[in-house]
A = this chain, B = another copy of it.
């Protein structure tokens, strides 16, 4: 859990409705946690996902890789740690890992690749890059 690769972290508590009949958080819900952490990270840089959408610029996910290490259960506390790097000209790669709290047990290791689109066409993320300090 070296801090150096992460530039943002956000704490959550598991909500019971996020658990499925196996009694653990349903796999898809981790993508919700990751998405919310990315959007809060962007907001911390002054970038609003929903406002960008209204302005015609959509940030989209083109690929996710998630390794499920250990399941979260009812009422567990956890942190989503997020780092970001550029890849090539137009792609952004979010490194996102989830750790249970307080014991820092690894829950999820994820890599999420994103791109910017306007009217469904890929575009250069432009000044987003600058605002993200990349």
Contact = CB atoms under 8 A, between A and B. Distances in A.
Interface residues of A, number: 36
Contacts of A19: 20-21, 50
Contact of A50 (B21, B27, B39): B21
Interface of A: 15-17, 19-23, 26-29, 31-32, 35-36, 39, 43, 48-50, 53, 58, 60-68, 71, 73-75
Contact of A21 (B53, B62, B63, B65): B53
Nearest to A28: B31
Contact of A28 (B29, B48, B58, B60): B29
A99 to B, nearest CB: 18
B15 A17 contact: no
